[in-house]
Structure 1
């Protein structure tokens, strides 16, 4: 099966007019969400380190570094902006991908689009195509890609980023195959690095790899034209022999688009998405029953067997580890009755009262979620036992913000405003929202990119 060629044909032939209106609207919504969390992430300490690296490395000023008031090469801008976008773990998710679809693709698309002097219509078109490619690859290669220890955002995202950049550079079908072949070899990212600065680097490198792959292919650089399906190729190497389904990758390309079904979830909390059902449950229990931290004897959580393989920091000491700690998120929700950006600080994680609550949290596998088929099921049960013997239990199957329980358009815009407060002026904030909502009508995406540079910092 010529999977790589079929992906390339889809990348070359798909036009915005053939993309359903619902997909276009969702596309713009998730673009706005990622721009907001990226600007917020541009103020994280890891982003300072990345900015210093980018400036030292240099590069012709072709694309904007978001929130930083300078420009660099397209590939380095993609690296920086992709890292910023994942710095807070506040960006969107897709179930087929088992990762974050927008953060590798949008930074690559905007950087390549600035270089290509693209329109908003061309950006939106390429972005939706890139997301479709990476998520359909995920549908055919998961769960084994994930279970082998790879970070899907990095592995699949490099291909989505390459698809978007190749489209913006107007590559032929043959050269798109080359770009995918190059990106397939560049892709990497290990889940053991969850809870460190290197996890966001995975997203930045995926975006950079996509731009680099398309730029090399444009110049005539070669790769294997059948990289996805080849015996020693992409699917076999990352998922394992016989543990992927090539038909699932191409059978339903664009029908439906993955951003419509199964959809893309937008986060309410700046932590790993697998914590979100439990956070929703805990917050509901605390508020409805006026539970006080000092009255709690034990907190028992139960969900799928893959949860501990994602939330790998049961005794966190840093804010980054806290994002991948069910125990910290439960303690935080109980103590503060919220889970918000300002709470993810090292001092908060190390607070003796938080640490005491962390030790009261346990996790077990629910019998109904102990199979490979249920490995991606986020449903979580939280049981809070009080010292006086009272017990409160709640199960959340779909966290608020997921496709089955989505945020409204107004809530997405409010999240954007909260993320960029103090980075963009109120005028630029509202203008950015306006431009994204009317992206198809934007003559040059440089107009949007200029707004994303924000105030100097």
Structure 2
């Protein structure tokens, strides 16, 4: 079955209970990231520039807009901190592309929270499947899977919410094929989160246009001169989920930086050694991350989020990488961090997977410590929810975190979107 036929069929699939439960955790995490992201003053001008219309869809930080605009703004703001979830099967951030489209349309259409969660689950799964289908060459050549695969996931989720028939859904995916875009050159800039917003808006617009009667290529993804042929896709074989869904292995962030750094940071959390006792530090990672998050000498807080050496130095010197506040321009210039950073060696190791990292610490005493972590280590839903609630408590404050949590585990979509305005911390 071709990718387009697979996605069209999947749009109306039943959603597994455990997959939907994971989606609710990602909804909690995504909303918290968006509420906190709306406080970032550097995005204030962008947000204001989009407020050219009023509408029923809530926007992070207050106000309302039409579904497409809300999807754009909320997708961008929820990825502004780069603190949202990731899926390593295709190296993308699925929730920030899919959930803004789903929540904006669900509000506009007065859809229940349960149906919105089911649509988002389908969309996230489709995003990951599309990313796997595109393959590693698509990512390595420079495309941002959050923006490309994410747009197809957002489109399929929107098609489900709108109740599009199979032919309309096919056209929506075809329209998306002309719209999906985003490049990794934007990493470390404000345009990286914009990639997520554009993907979410594409999903809303492609589905609405297909509903309105606009047609497109019958197979804009895998057909002649389609997306895979023109965007360095591999056409990897994928199958629809049965017992195991891709969303079950989604990875949530517990450090406020690029997810490629997290295995290294988790490994360092077990170092238990003072920085002054360290004579040498060697970090080994999968080759793919060397072009993503290995900025050797970051100059800004944004660039720090993409630096192995700088975040490793921060951790060893006691600067909490789970705190958004620690990723700022002052941290980038900190003399102590920079001095330790410049003594750290980062190298690639193709024996490691994309979710693994190994750190070798050589102490002044001559002792050598080898630390290793794999982000795919099993974690139950209960364990994950505890870690996420701790994260969101820190992001929003405990009262706001509790209100959002109760809304997300409930049945009222309006209760969730009412939290979007947020409160200062």
Give the direction of change, closer, same or farther, for the CA distance of 1:237–1:169 in structure 2 (3 Å limit): same
Q: Does 1:361 align with 2:378?
A: no
2:295 maps to which of 313, 325, 347? 313
The 3-state SS of whatever aligns with 2:284 is: strand
Structure 1 contact 78–107 (Cα < 8 Å) conserved: yes
Q: Does 1:343 align with 2:326?
A: yes
Report what 1:416 is aligned to. 392
The 3-state SS of whatever aligns with 2:359 is: strand
Q: Does 1:430 align with 2:402?
A: yes
Q: Does 1:378 align with 2:355?
A: yes
* TM-score, normalised relative to structure 1: 0.88
Report what 2:29 is aligned to. 33
1:64 CA drift (Å): 0.8
2:59 maps to which of 49, 62, 65? 65
Q: Does 1:48 align with 2:22?
A: no
Equivalent residue pairs, number: 422
In 2, the alpha carbon distance for the partners of 1:403 and 1:166 equals 34
Structure 2 contact 88–355 (Cα < 8 Å) conserved: no
Q: Does 1:331 align with 2:325?
A: no
Once the two structures are overlaid, the 10-residue window that deviates more, 360-369 or 127-136, is 360-369
Deviations 1:394-448 (A, max 9, x none): 121x13xx56346432222222222222xxx82x54232112112xx33xx2332
2:126 maps to which of 108, 115, 133? 133
Report what 1:244 is aligned to. 235
Report what 2:280 is aligned to. 298
The 3-state SS of whatever aligns with 2:369 is: strand
Q: Does 1:232 align with 2:220?
A: no
Structure 1 contact 179–223 (Cα < 8 Å) conserved: yes
Moved over 6 A (4+): none
Structure 1 contact 91–266 (Cα < 8 Å) conserved: yes
The 3-state SS of whatever aligns with 2:406 is: helix
Structure 1 contact 317–346 (Cα < 8 Å) conserved: yes
Structure 2 contact 6–240 (Cα < 8 Å) conserved: no
RMSD: 1.9
Q: Does 1:272 align with 2:258?
A: yes
Structure 2 contact 19–245 (Cα < 8 Å) conserved: yes
In 2, the alpha carbon distance for the partners of 1:102 and 1:268 equals 16
1:363 CA drift (Å): 1.2
1:54 CA drift (Å): 1.3
Deviations 1:116-157 (A, max 9, x none): 111112101110110111111122222111111111000101
In 1, the alpha carbon distance for the partners of 2:241 and 2:141 equals 25
Structure 2 contact 177–220 (Cα < 8 Å) conserved: yes
In 1, the alpha carbon distance for the partners of 2:235 and 2:9 equals 21
In 2, the alpha carbon distance for the partners of 1:106 and 1:254 equals 23
Report what 1:284 is aligned to. 270
Report what 2:378 is aligned to. 404
Once the two structures are overlaid, the 10-residue window that deviates more, 91-100 or 44-53, is 44-53
The 3-state SS of whatever aligns with 2:269 is: helix
Give the direction of change, closer, same or farther, for the CA distance of 1:253–1:224 in structure 2 (3 Å limit): farther
1:367 CA drift (Å): 5.5
Structure number with the bigger relative contact order (C-alpha 8 A, sep ≥ 6) is: 1
Report what 2:420 is aligned to. 452
1:188 CA drift (Å): 1.0
In 1, the alpha carbon distance for the partners of 2:423 and 2:253 equals 25
